[in-house]
Amino acid sequence: MASALSHVIVAIALGKASQHSVMTWRVLLLGVLCSIVPDLDVIGFHFGIQYGDLWGHRGLTHSFFFAGLLSAVLVGLCFRRQSNAVMAGIFFYLFLCTASHGVLDAMTDGGLGVAFFSPFDTSRYFFTIRPVAVSPIGIGGFFSDYGIQVLVSEARWIWLPTGIAFVVLRTLQRLWAGQSAVERSRAE
């Protein structure tokens, strides 16, 4: 798996990339929560659930189905008084945050793969290119040479590309806003 820190960085970047007023800190914090919730499946190890089982690590909680279900429940509970358009936007953001967890995990060099299509298909998948060093399970594993290697790997393959994509998107947004302002002034 990628570390919780990487999942959080991606969720915040996704949320802050949108300049819409609906992206409050409350929504961003829910996005952060959605980005790390899939790893709660590691609790199953303590109950005898095997890694490759439906409820095992990187199983159902890492699927697109789970991402949609979690996002729908959170939007229904927390934002039901908002307009349909606002609820749809928040749902999409929360879905992306949750689904990004499995996507990042499928880029790692360890584990059994991600059950993206669970519960309908429990096959596990990795991406062809898997440059991210798999994160240790538990915080203690980061206080080692390998833990440092994982963080360096994530900085190179997740944090840096996320930061670059964020800066490029924000630059394009400013350019488009500038062009729109120029076009409006010409129309007047």
Q: pLDDT (tens digit, 0 to 9) for every residue of the chain, 188 residues total?
A: 578 999 999 999 999 998 888 999 999 999 999 999 999 999 999 999 999 899 999 999 999 999 999 999 999 999 999 999 999 999 999 999 999 999 999 999 998 999 999 999 999 999 999 999 998 877 777 888 898 999 999 999 999 999 999 999 999 998 888 777 667 667 66
What is the maximum span of the chain, computed from C-alpha positions, in angstroms?
69
Among residues 77, 78, 54, the alpha carbon closest in space to that of 66 is found at: 54
What is the structure's pLDDT at 181? 66
Q: Is the pTM of this model over 0.85?
A: yes
What is the structure's pLDDT at 20? 87
Q: To 5 degrees, how large is the angle CA 30–CA 36–CA 37? A: 80
The span from the first CA to the last CA of the chain, in angstroms, equals 54
